[in-house]
């Protein structure tokens, strides 16, 4: 009897899904923490909009209906009611809109933010210092944050705790459930930027007990830039009135009354102007791929892929930044580069591997469509590119 263990396989038809992603014929896309590839479904969505525009000149009813459908697709992903979701154009804009609804003039003026925030989120909070906000940072040490570090920082003067679900630099995932408990026991709200985790693992806003959650679609959600979503806890919607607003935030955007500042009773009150129509088509198509395959099946397969990457990287003596425990990570693994990581990214591209340079690391981030062999091939290419570039820069 052979003692060789069979290779694990995904719980979905990998080959069928791969055939929907044309770039797989020429590249191994492992840049999913930066931008996922185009699929035939997202391309068809763009064409649907272009055809409608070309054929009908304009069709606002159909186009705004598509925006609502994109919202519903995202809501299904995070197990929320579509009325608790606002559409925005970026996580930056969504965070700015939320921040503009907070009041920092009283005693509860502190914001506790993690050093693992994507810069844009930290920058939005900092911009509110002029309204009285005081920011304190929870430190990242050795590429990770211990949840206990929040305990020290949170007190009853904290209005909002800002904790990115995963660190963009190396995929380290924070324990949002326990941060939520700490925030709420001090009477603070919890804002989570889930851009790096959406599409990689189950996210249920009720289970995580978050007050606000934001994310865009061009990473693991298989879509494009120009659209983002903001979840707002239903019981908070009525209490918040963002200063960053516009006609789509009104009870009836088509009332056309410049003097009226009424508020939508839904999270739409966090919207501003004409929504991103074309991007809604693409977003709905991309997120529908994730919902159709099923987030549990994607999580199962990407954990297997990242285990192969981590163990294969260690066997090849590559140095990994931060955490190597797949229970605490997204699929993104950051390998430390002794030289400019952009040279490494370029060298990998020449060898057919799409990776993402970030600071002193090169990130390899597989998604549901990748194979185990691709992990081995990418690691071999990385070893080669690192050794060529290290020699030439000595």
CB atoms inside a 10 Å sphere around CB 247: 16
Of 73, 193, 271, 374, the one binding ligand PLP by CB under 6 A:
193
Q: Tell me the per-residue interface mask from 50 to 89 with ligand PLP, x by CB under 6 A, - otherwise.
A: ----------------------------------------
Binding to ligand PLP by residue 125, rule CB under 6 A? no
Binding to ligand PLP by residue 307, rule CB under 6 A? no
Looking at the Cβ atoms of 228 and 298, the one nearer to ligand PLP is 228
Residue range at the interface with ligand PLP (CB under 6 A); choices 70-78, 173-181, 192-200, 340-348: 192-200
Of 96, 99, 228, 309, the one binding ligand PLP by CB under 6 A:
228
Binding to ligand PLP by residue 196, rule CB under 6 A? yes
Residues 143-172 that bind ligand PLP (CB under 6 A): 164, 168
Give me the least distance between CB of 118 and ligand PLP, in Å please: 3
What SS3 state is found at 343?
Answer: helix
| CA-based radius of gyration for the chain | 22
Query: How far is the C-alpha of 252 from the C-alpha of 250, rounded, in Å?
Result: 5
What SS3 state is found at 16?
Answer: helix
Applying CB under 6 A, what is the total number of residues that bind ligand PLP?
12
Least Cα distance to 115 among 151, 146, 91, 160 occurs for 146
Give me the least distance between CB of 354 and ligand PLP, in Å please: 16
Least Cα distance to 60 among 274, 259, 217 occurs for 274
Query: How far is the C-alpha of 231 from the C-alpha of 75, rounded, in Å?
Result: 8
Query: How far is the C-alpha of 179 from the C-alpha of 36, rounded, in Å?
Result: 29
DSSP H helices, 294-326, are 295-315
Of 195, 220, 281, 335, the one binding ligand PLP by CB under 6 A:
195
Binding to ligand PLP by residue 272, rule CB under 6 A? no
Residue range at the interface with ligand PLP (CB under 6 A); choices 69-77, 137-145, 191-199, 337-345: 191-199
Give me the least distance between CB of 137 and ligand PLP, in Å please: 16
Of 77, 91, 240, 362, the one binding ligand PLP by CB under 6 A:
91
Query: How far is the C-alpha of 11 from the C-alpha of 28, rounded, in Å?
Result: 21
Looking at the Cβ atoms of 128 and 308, the one nearer to ligand PLP is 128
Query: Do 376 and 312 form a contact (C-beta atoms < 8 A)?
Result: yes
Give me the least distance between CB of 91 and ligand PLP, in Å please: 4
Query: How far is the C-alpha of 112 from the C-alpha of 183, rounded, in Å?
Result: 10
Give me the least distance between CB of 60 and ligand PLP, in Å please: 25
- Residues whose CB falls within 8 Å of the CB of residue 104, separated by 6 or more in sequence, listed in order: 128, 131, 132, 133, 134, 159
* DSSP annotation of 139: P
Binding to ligand PLP by residue 220, rule CB under 6 A? no
Q: Which residues of 147-166 are buried (b: 16+ CB within 10 A; e: fewer)?
A: bebbeebbeeebbbbbbbbb
Which tokens go with 22?
């044309």
Query: Do 333 and 170 form a contact (C-beta atoms < 8 A)?
Result: yes
Of 52, 120, 291, 299, the one binding ligand PLP by CB under 6 A:
120
Which tokens go with 220?
């693991």
Binding to ligand PLP by residue 217, rule CB under 6 A? no
Looking at the Cβ atoms of 34 and 188, the one nearer to ligand PLP is 34
Question: What residues make contact with ligand PLP under the rule CB under 6 A?
Answer: 90-92, 118, 120, 164, 168, 193, 195-196, 216, 228
């Amino acid at each position: 009897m052979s003692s060789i263990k069979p290779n694990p396989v995904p719980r979905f038809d990998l080959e069928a899904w791969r055939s929907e992603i044309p770039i797989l014929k020429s590249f191994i896309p492992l840049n999913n923490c930066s931008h996922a590839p185009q699929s035939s479904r997202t391309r068809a969505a763009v064409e649907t909009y272009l055809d409608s525009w070309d054929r009908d000149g304009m069709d606002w009813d159909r186009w705004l209906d598509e925006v609502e459908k994109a919202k519903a697709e995202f809501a299904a992903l995070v197990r929320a009611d579509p009325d608790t979701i606002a559409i925005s154009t970026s996580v930056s804009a969504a965070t700015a809109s939320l921040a503009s609804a907070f009041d920092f003039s009283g005693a509860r003026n502190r914001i506790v933010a993690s050093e693992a925030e994507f810069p844009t989120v930290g920058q939005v909070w900092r911009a509110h210092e002029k309204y009285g906000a005081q920011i304190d940072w929870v430190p990242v040490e050795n590429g990770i944050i211990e949840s206990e570090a929040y305990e020290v920082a949170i007190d009853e003067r904290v209005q909002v705790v800002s904790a990115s679900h995963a660190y963009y630099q190396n995929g380290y995932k924070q324990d949002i459930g326990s941060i939520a408990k700490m925030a709420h026991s001090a009477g603070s709200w919890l804002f989570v930027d889930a851009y790096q985790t959406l599409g990689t693992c189950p996210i249920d806003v009720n289970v995580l007990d978050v007050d606000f959650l934001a994310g865009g679609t061009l990473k693991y959600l298989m879509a494009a830039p120009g659209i983002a979503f903001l979840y707002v806890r239903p019981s908070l919607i009525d209490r918040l009135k963002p200063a960053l607003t516009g006609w789509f935030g009104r009870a009836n955007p088509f009332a056309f009354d410049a003097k009226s500042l009424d508020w939508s009773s839904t999270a739409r009150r966090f919207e501003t102007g004409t929504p991103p129509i074309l991007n809604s088509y693409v977003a709905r198509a991309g997120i529908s791929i994730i919902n159709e395959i099923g987030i549990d099946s994607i999580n199962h397969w990407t954990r297997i892929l990242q285990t192969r990457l981590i163990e294969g990287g260690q066997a090849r003596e590559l140095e990994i930044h931060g955490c190597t425990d797949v229970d605490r990570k997204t699929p993104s693994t950051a390998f430390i580069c002794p030289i400019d990581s952009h040279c490494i990214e370029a060298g990998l591209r020449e060898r057919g591997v799409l990776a993402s340079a970030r600071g002193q690391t090169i990130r390899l981030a597989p998604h549901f469509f990748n194979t185990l062999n691709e992990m081995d091939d990418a690691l071999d290419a990385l070893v080669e590119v690192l050794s060529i570039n290290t020699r030439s820069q000595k």
